[in-house]
Amino acid sequence: MSELQELYASMGISRDVYEYGSKILEKLEERYKSIDAVAEYNQLKVIRAMQEAKVSEACLLGTTGYGYNDLGRDTLEEVYARVFHTEDALVRPQITCGTHALALALMSNLRPGDEILSPVGKPYDTLEEVIGIRPSRGSLAEYNISYRQVDLLPDGSFDYEGIKNSINDRTRLVTIQRSKGYQTRPTLSVDRIGELIAFVKDIKPDVICMVDNCYGEFVEVREPSDVGADMVVGSLIKNPGGGLAPIGGYIAGTRECVENAACRLTSPGLAKEVGASLGVLKDFYQGFFLAPTVTASALKAAIFAANLYEPLGFAVIPDSNETRHDIIQAITFGNPEAVIAFCQGIQAGAPVDSHVTPEPWDMPGYDAKVIMAAGAFVSGSSIELSADGPIKPPYAVYFQGGLTWHHAKFGILKSLQALVDKGLVSIP
Ligand SMILES: *Cc1c(COP(=O)(O)O)cnc(C)c1O
C-alpha cells in the first residue's frame, strides 16, 4: 500500500473501495483537463476584472452605519459587472440568499399589470411563492402581476410555438432558469439560453430577459449575460461566493434593471448609495477570486460520483458521459437505507461535524422526511460538499459542491464505503 492509500485506510476507506475509485478516475483524466481549462479561463477573467477595477487593500475593509462612500462595496460591484460583462451590478450582504435576489429582481422590475413568462417550465420551488403560483403573502400575484408558463417539450427542447403564442402586450419579463435545480429536465447551456433569448427578443425586443444563474456560474467560459440576458441573478452561498462568502446575493445587468433593484433593496432615492458592507468584503472578494477553481472542484465531484455509481446499477442524472452545465448530481438508489447511508457517508467525510450522524426529519415545507448531509463552514452552504435525500420514491439523493476536489473525492468514497459496509452494494 502507498502512504496515501494507508492514510485513506486509516480514515475508513477499504482497499476495494479505494481501488475501484482509482480505476474510475483513470478514465476521467481528459474530462478533468477540460474542466481545468475552463477554470483557467475564468480565473484570468476574474483577475483581469479585479486589476481593471483597481481593487486595493483599502477595498477589503468594510463600513458601518449608512455605508456612504463604501469604496470596497462599490469596487466589488464593478468587478462583478466586468466579469459578467454587464453595465452594472448589485452585490450585497443585505441580499440574504438566492431566492431573495430573484424576488428582488422580479419585484423591482415589474409593475402592476405586467406579466412574467417562464418558457422553460416550472421555476425553482421557492419561487412559486414569490410569484404566487402557490398563494402566498406578499407574492407578485397580490400586486396584480400575472404569470404564464410554457413547459419544455418531452425531448427537452423549447416549445417555440407555445412561447410565441404566450407573449402578449402584458409580457414584461421572461425568466429563464439555467440549472435544472431539483427537477429532471436538462440544464440549459449558455448557447441554448442565447438562442431562447434571441427568439424572445425577436418577437418583443423590449422584454426583460432574466436568468436564474444559481449553480451555473463559472461552469462555462461564458455567462448568460454574454448572450443577451438583461439580468443574471444568483446566490453568494453557491458558486460565486467560492465557499467564503458567509451570506449574500447578486444581480448583474443593465443599468436600469440594477437601478430598479437597488431602489427596491434600500429605498427610492437612496438606491446604491447606502448599505454598509460591515466585515464581509474580504470574503466576498476572496471567494469570488476562488470561485472558478471551487466550481471546477464541484464539477469534478459530480462527474466522479456519476461515474462511480452508474456502473453499480444506479440511475444517475446527468449520466456519466453528459456535458455539464451545472454542479448538481442526482443518484437514484431505489431504497431508503441507501439514501441514508449515502448521506451519512458524505457527512462522515466532512471537515466540520463529521462526528454527527444525520437522520431523516420532517423539514418544514416538504411532504416527506428529508435527510441532509452538510458538514459546512457556512451553514447550509451548497457549494460545500453536501447532499440531501427525500425519503420517498424513487429514493434519490441530490448532491453537490466540494470546495476542494480532494475533499470531494474523499467524501464520495466515504459515501460508497458506507453503502458497502451496510451490505447495500458490492464492488465489482
Ligand atoms: C438554490 C437555488 C435558488 C434559491 O437560492 P437559495 O439561496 O436557496 O434561496 C434558486 N434557483 C435555483 C436554480 C437554485 O439552485
Q: Report pLDDT for 190.
A: 98
Give yes or no for residue 215 having a pLDDT over 80: yes
Q: pLDDT digit string (tens) for 249-282?
A: 999 999 999 999 999 999 999 999 999 999 999 9
Give yes or no for residue 150 having a pLDDT over 80: yes
Q: Report pLDDT for 368.
A: 85
CB 80 within 8 A of CB 250: yes
**DSSP H or E segment with residue 249:** strand 249-253
DSSP secondary structure of 175-224: EEESS-TTSSSPPPPHHHHHHHHHHHHHH-TT-EEEEE-TTTTTSSSS-G
Whether 124 is in the pocket of ligand 1, judged by its Cβ within 6 Å, is: yes
CA distance 71 to 76: 8
* Range with the poorest average pLDDT among 96-105, 124-133, 176-185, 214-223: 176-185
Average pLDDT over residues 185-199: 95
Give yes or no for residue 356 having a pLDDT over 90: yes
The candidate with the shortest Cα–Cα distance to 241, out of 403, 387, 99, 399, is: 403
Whether 400 is in the pocket of ligand 1, judged by its Cβ within 6 Å, is: no
Average pLDDT over residues 62-87: 97
Count of alpha carbons within 13 Å of 375, Cβ hemisphere only? 20
Whether 175 is in the pocket of ligand 1, judged by its Cβ within 6 Å, is: no
Average pLDDT over residues 216-224: 98
* All cell numbers assigned to 190: 449558455
**DSSP H or E segment with residue 35:** helix 29-52
Q: Report pLDDT for 400.
A: 95
Average pLDDT over residues 10-15: 97
Q: Which of 131, 214, 388 to mutate to test the pocket of ligand 1 (most atoms within 8 A of CB)?
A: 214
The mean pLDDT value of the chain amounts to 96
Q: Which of 124, 188, 388 to mutate to test the pocket of ligand 1 (most atoms within 8 A of CB)?
A: 124
Given the CA of residue 179, which atom of ligand 1 is nearest to it? 13
Average pLDDT over residues 366-374: 88
Tell how far the Cα of 223 is from the centroid of ligand 1, in angstroms: 17
Average pLDDT over residues 332-344: 96
Give yes or no for residue 365 having a pLDDT over 70: no
Give yes or no for residue 184 having a pLDDT over 80: no
Burial 233-267 (b: 16+ CB within 10 A, else e): bbbbbbbbbbbbbbbbbbbbbbeebbbbbbebbbe
Give yes or no for residue 96 having a pLDDT over 80: yes
Give yes or no for residue 428 having a pLDDT over 90: no
Given the CA of residue 215, which atom of ligand 1 is nearest to it? 15
Q: pLDDT digit string (tens) for 393-415?
A: 999 999 999 999 999 999 999 99
Q: pLDDT digit string (tens) for 75-90?
A: 999 999 999 999 999 9
192: Cα separation from own chain's centroid = 18
Whether 98 is in the pocket of ligand 1, judged by its Cβ within 6 Å, is: yes
Burial 27-57 (b: 16+ CB within 10 A, else e): ebeebbeebbebbeebbebbeebbeebebee
Given the CA of residue 102, which atom of ligand 1 is nearest to it? 10
Whether 177 is in the pocket of ligand 1, judged by its Cβ within 6 Å, is: yes
Q: Report pLDDT for 99.
A: 95
**Which residue, judged by its Cα, is nearest atom 5 of ligand 1?**
98
Confidence of residue 180 (pLDDT cuts 50, 70, 90): confident
**Which residue, judged by its Cα, is nearest atom 14 of ligand 1?**
214
- φ, ψ for residue 390 (rounded to 5)? -70, 135
Q: Report pLDDT for 367.
A: 75
For the chain, what percent of residues have pLDDT higher than 90?
95
Q: pLDDT digit string (tens) for 289-301?
A: 999 999 999 999 9
